[in-house]
Chain A
């Protein structure tokens, strides 16, 4: 393109009429989109507080005429549901999974970034290659592996935790962060007589804190939302997590939607609160790694 026009000042844009219209259209679009994204949550909450008759009213009421918090109690105490139990299970499973996955990923990510050993690049390439082994292919053999004949973990907490104590994505993310730690720090620590473990604990970890937060949050969220695996690997209601409990509840609740929405709210609200507090870490973690759940 000709450089001769380089001196021409760009036309003042702010009072352009087309621009104002464009900006209004843009905001209208963004607000509409945000409304569509948020509406199901709104609908869940309002339905959950409506009276049974009002929830199934046509045309639907956008705002309840009277509020019924007792729906939540009724949903919580619904026959054959063990909500408190399911919550305890999920919190237990998600916490152990997060701590364990963080530990294995920190150690492996650090080793790949900072330690010298034979076969490092080959091992790392092989590790990334395992990302191409899809869950569809492994879920049946894993189910067989859990059976009494092999590991005997069917219908246990162990089966819901141990397979998830590793994540290639987390290893990869932490490795990238450890690579960014200046080598001089490492050398200085070495001269002071600190080994890898010592250096990792007192220098490395504080420096990669954002990555640790991101990995923990995403792991916890994934574990909280896990459904297919616990569905097939457990049968006792006492050890099942909330997602499976919710499906069981919706099957038994039939079309009593005011109760079902209260049940959905039980499952969604805790993660929504965590998300709203720590949204930066969620969004940036996903933007950085492209993890798709």
Chain B
């Protein structure tokens, strides 16, 4: 018979060793996340309160925020412009991507032959490097010899400058019909539309695959039952497919919006924010502020901008949750 105190001691020892082993398993991952995600996340806020260019200068409290958010501040104009461009970019890409991907997913779902082959082709753009694919599009958008101007020519529309065109599309369409559109309603520039066309091309496959997975998860029995009950195709779509797909739609909508707002590489390669800043989204502005003007106060201002931008992304996501989340049907 082993005395109780020894039994307790061995038990304690065993529990201690078990915990030690578990924490050792977790340690590499947790240390890396702490060092490269959590710590920088916190220090971003601290840095935003400093004047910091090439070297740390001084504590600046809310000076950077004032420069960005105060209408008379030095950086207010460019930040508001970048924010407007970012929102246009979201509006030009996300709804179009989702509608096209949904149509493709429906077509693929309805038991077509070669579904696998189609899926492989549609997904191809998504796995290619944004930088390399954007290089191809830069060539296709070329003002003189680009393939897209050739296609426009086929349908009787004149050549466009695409990525070098700062004029707003509403204004351009207006002037094509002889109507003057004021600058305030000029709309997003054609160059932003061109960047959006690339983005749509690149991400359609991703959304199609997710939608297809969502559609496949809907039980076939529901459709059979509805058909037996005499429901028409449109009714089935409205009453069964869309409600049951709504969690997927919601998920894709949210991550596509956040993804579009955070886009960097394709814009950097295609336009680098130009012409006349009409494609300079907030991530590009942060990059320019931080990287090209480090000499001034790049780190302080850049960190403040990223912090404000993160708050805006969170606000938009919460808004989507409140407004759209209510319509989502979780079986």
Interface size class of B (residues with CB under 8 A): 35 or more
Task: Mark each residue of chain A from 259 to 291: 1 if its CB lies under 8 Å from any CB of chain B, else 0.
Answer: 011011001100110011001001100111010
Q: In the complex, how many angstroms separate the beta carbon of A150 from the nearest chain B beta carbon?
A: 10
In the bound complex, how far is the Cα of B25 from the Cα of A165, in angstroms?
14
* Among B37, B130, B307: residue with most chain A CB under 10 A: B37
Q: Which residues of A contact B103 (CB under 8 A)?
A: 29
Q: Are A105 and B18 in contact (CB under 8 A)?
A: no
CB <8 Å contact, B36 and A286:
no
| A141–B43 touching, CB < 8 Å | yes
Q: Which of B130, B265, B302 contacts A140 (CB 8 A)?
A: B302
**How far in angstroms is the closest Cβ of chain B from A168?**
7
| Majority DSSP secondary structure for residues of A touching B | helix
Would you call A144 and B26 a contact (CB within 8 A)? Answer: no
| Complexed CA–CA distance, A232 and B289 (Å) | 13
Q: Taking A141-B39, A196-B25 as contacts, is the C-beta distance between A34 and B118 under 8 angstroms?
A: yes
Segment with Cβ contacts to B, from A80-88, A116-124, A208-216:
A116-124
Q: Are A60 and B147 in contact (CB under 8 A)?
A: yes
Give Cα A276–Cα B119 distance, bound, in whole angstroms: 11
- Which residue of B123, B135, B228 has the most chain A CB atoms within 10 A of its CB atom? B135
In the complex, are the beta carbons of B144 and A58 less than 8 A apart? Answer: yes
Report the interface size for chain A: residues with CB under 8 A from the other chain: 96
Contact between A263 and B229, CB atoms less than 8 A apart: no
Q: Does A152 contact B (CB under 8 A)?
A: no
Does any Cβ of A come within 8 Å of B324's Cβ?
no
Confirm or deny: B131 has a beta carbon within 8 angstroms of a beta carbon on chain A.
Answer: yes
- Judging by beta carbons under 8 Å apart, are B123 and A279 in contact? yes
Given A43-B147, A283-B123, do A111 and B22 touch, yes or no (CB 8 Å)? Answer: yes
Contact at A168–B33, with CB atoms within 8 Å?
A: yes
A3 B28 Cβ-Cβ under 8 A: no
> For residue A267, which residue of chain B has the nearest CB?
B132
**Are the C-beta atoms of B231 and A1 separated by less than 8 Å?**
yes
| Contact indicator per residue, chain A 227-270, by CB within 8 Å of chain B (1) or not (0) | 11000100000000001001100100001010011011001100
* Contact residue among A111, A136, A276 (Cβ-Cβ distance under 8 Å from B26): A111
Is B62 an interface residue, CB under 8 A from the partner? no
Would you give the 0/1 interface string for A45-67, flagging 1 where the beta carbon is closer than 8 Å to chain B? 00100000001111110000000
**In the bound complex, CA of A41 to CA of B30 (Å):** 40
| B-chain residues with CB within 8 Å of residue A34 when the two chains form the complex | 118, 121-122
Say yes or no: A115 contacts B41, CB within 8 Å.
Answer: no
- Whether the Cβ atoms of A40 and B303 lie closer than 8 Å is no
Question: Hey, what's the 0/1 contact readout for B110-138 against A, CB within 8 Å counting as 1?
Answer: 10100000111111111111111101111
Residues of chain B with a CB closer than 8 A to A112's CB = 26
A117 x B22 contact (CB < 8 A):
yes
Q: Is the CB of A142 within 8 A of B40?
A: yes
Which residues of A are in contact with B by a Cβ distance under 8 Å?
A: 1-3, 5-6, 8, 10, 26-27, 29-30, 33-34, 36-38, 40-41, 43-44, 47, 55-60, 103-105, 107-108, 110-112, 115-118, 120, 123, 127, 130, 132-145, 162-163, 165-166, 168, 171, 195-196, 221, 224-225, 227-228, 232, 243, 246-247, 250, 255, 257, 260-261, 263-264, 267-268, 271-272, 275-276, 279, 282-283, 286-288, 290, 292-293
**Chain B contact residues, CB within 8 Å of chain A:** 18-19, 21-23, 25-26, 28-30, 32-33, 35-41, 43-44, 47, 100, 103-104, 107-108, 110, 112, 118-133, 135-140, 142, 144-145, 147, 150, 153, 201, 203-206, 209-210, 212-213, 226-231, 251, 255-256, 259, 262, 264-265, 268-269, 282-283, 286-287, 290-291, 299, 302-303, 306-307, 309-310, 313-314
Known contacts A115-B22, A140-B302; can you find 18 more A-B pairs with CB under 8 A? A2-B229, A36-B201, A43-B147, A58-B144, A58-B150, A60-B147, A111-B25, A133-B38, A138-B41, A138-B44, A141-B39, A141-B303, A225-B128, A227-B130, A250-B135, A268-B132, A282-B123, A288-B213
